[in-house]
Amino acid sequence: MDQATALAVMQTGASVFLTGQPGSGKTHTVNQYVKYLRAHKIDPAITASTGIAATHIGGRTIHSWSGIGIRSELTPKELKRIAKKGSYAARRIEGTQTLIIDEISMLNGKTLSHVDAVCRTVKDGSKPFGGMQVILVGDFFQLPPVTRQNEQPLFAFNSEAWDLLGPMVLYLTEQHRQDDEAFLSILDAIRSNDFHEEHFSHLEPRLTTRHECPDGITKLFTHNANVDAVNERELANLPGKEHSFQMNKSGPEQLVGALQRGCLSPENLVLKVDASVMFTKNNFAEGFVNGTLGKVIAFDEDSDYPIVKTHTGKRIETEPMDWIIEEDDEVQAEITQVPLRLAWAITIHKSQGMSLDAAIMDLKHVFEYGQGYVALSRVRNLAGLHLLGLNQMAFLVHPDILVKDEEFRGESMKVEKNHTGLSSKTLKEERERFIRDCEGVLPKNKNRSKRKS
């Protein structure tokens, strides 16, 4: 399906699962839909499965939006308290007609059912998610939900909430990130579990050593220990004075811990001039988002805050920002830190959702389905890929996803066929009905206005 068709389906008010491989335009299509809704005075709830993903789309975590927080279980008593009339979560849900959840692959199916339960309790208990339109966005070939040791992930599509919602599948197939046919064939082969010698022959020339790698390129690793070692080594190699920034914390230890896990900035941030850094939070007014790369060029003489020059040439004096957990209009926990981290290296897990011109990656310790695929698909072409190593796991995706993907593709083809069979008049009526149901503003009929005048 192309983006225009996917957008047209969403405009009818249907709940959907928007999917496709990295670079197929999922985020762009969602942004276009958000723009469309706001033009008709409908304000969607924009959420994501993780804090990092939420900052990529300018939203908040689904856990925070729904009020369920970090709970893994939801008792009837807790459900009643979260959904009580007048609570912060209840007011948000009551005013929401469209709920967007990004990076759905990383959301545990049980959590999706908790969100459904809260929405039903607040709005309409007889309808999935209380009757609101739900836009699920993501690619299940990417990283699965985080689980405890030896625990199998419960994918969102296996949850009762997904079954009851029955979202239409919109499978985007155009490619807007990768521009290299050989590279695209590698990614497609991994997705179809058909990776063989021919594909490896394209990757083999990209194998290199640490000493041969070009400078100034982000490195991706599977484990935090490797990331920390590279960043600490690179920082130590820089001359000049260290500047330290300590995180301020307030609130219960469990909530503060949850905030820290969702925050890419370390508890003690140590920087020097010429340090390679990445912003860890969105600040559109100042001109940066989570994932913006740059270099420390100085420290302010009065505040000592770092001055960063981004890859686009913008100079930003980077002041501390807050990460908070709110409930019923009250801050339950808060951490404050300069929104930066060293960025000579990052984990593959933290790179999901990024688009890089070039990257150095070590995939010889890949331990999770989809991890190698996520890393490889961050870059646009083979020329930007520098491989320090590979293992067989790097080319594997979850076997359950291989089966499910065929089903998703088939469902998307049916949706597209049904959609193209509708007349323009029917589609217009569906769009206008949804806008009225959401109490939005319909566009003025120019012809009718002329007749009246």
Residue-wise pLDDT tens digits, 370-396: 899 989 988 888 988 999 999 999 999
Q: What is the pLDDT of residue 450?
A: 43
Q: Write out pLDDT tens, residues 316-343.
A: 999 999 988 766 567 788 999 999 999 8
Distance CA 187, CA 178 (A): 10
The answer to the question of residue 235 being in a domain is yes
Domain match, 127 and 276 both: no
Domain match, 151 and 15 both: yes
Q: Among candidates 218, 256, 210, which has minimal Cα distance to 342?
A: 218
The answer to the question of residue 207 being in a domain is yes
More confident position, 336 or 57 = 336
Q: Are strands 315-317 and 306-310 parallel, antiparallel or unpaired?
A: antiparallel
The answer to the question of residue 295 being in a domain is yes
Number of domains in the chain: 2
Q: What is the pLDDT of residue 326?
A: 67
Domain match, 80 and 165 both: yes
Domain match, 160 and 194 both: no
Q: What is the pLDDT of residue 59?
A: 77
Q: What is the pLDDT of residue 306?
A: 97
The answer to the question of residue 443 being in a domain is no
Q: What is the pLDDT of residue 328?
A: 57
Domain match, 18 and 47 both: yes
Domain match, 216 and 82 both: no
Both tokens of residue 52? 């990092």
- Has residue 94 got a pLDDT over 80? yes
Q: What is the pLDDT of residue 177?
A: 63
Distance CA 43, CA 64 (A): 18
Q: What is the pLDDT of residue 56?
A: 65
Query: Where is 277: in which H helix or E strand?
Result: strand 276-279
- Has residue 213 got a pLDDT over 90? no
Stretch 241-246: mean pLDDT: 96
More confident position, 147 or 339 = 339
Domain match, 234 and 348 both: yes
The answer to the question of residue 444 being in a domain is no
- Any residues with CB less than 8 A from the CB of 3 and at least 6 apart, and which? 25, 28, 29, 32, 172, 174
The answer to the question of residue 404 being in a domain is yes
Is 158 strand, coil or helix?
A: helix
Distance CA 352, CA 374 (A): 6
Domain match, 257 and 406 both: no
Domain end call among 365, 395, 425: 395
Contact call for residues 66 and 119 (beta carbons, < 8 A): yes
Domain match, 390 and 423 both: no
The answer to the question of residue 170 being in a domain is yes
Domain end call among 345, 370, 395: 395
Domain match, 200 and 268 both: yes
Which range marks the domain in which residue 149 is found? 3-175+399-437
The answer to the question of residue 452 being in a domain is no
Stretch 87-95: mean pLDDT: 88
Nearest-10 crossing angle of helices 3-10, 26-39: 40
List, as one string, the DSSP characters of 302-329. Answer: TT--EEEEETTS-EEE---EEEEEEETT
- Has residue 368 got a pLDDT over 90? no
Contact call for residues 352 and 290 (beta carbons, < 8 A): no
Query: Exposure of 453 by Cβ count < 10 A (0-12 exposed, 13-18 middle, 19+ buried)?
Result: exposed
- Has residue 449 got a pLDDT over 50? no
Contact call for residues 11 and 161 (beta carbons, < 8 A): no
Domain match, 374 and 405 both: no
Domain match, 308 and 363 both: yes
Residue 414: give its domain's CATH number.
3.40.50.300
- Has residue 452 got a pLDDT over 50? no
Domain end call among 395, 410, 425: 395
Distance CA 122, CA 184 (A): 45
The edge-to-edge listing of strands for the beta sheet with 345-347 is 345-347, 219-221, 359-363, 385-390
Q: Among candidates 416, 230, 208, which has minimal Cα distance to 341?
A: 230
Query: Exposure of 223 by Cβ count < 10 A (0-12 exposed, 13-18 middle, 19+ buried)?
Result: middle
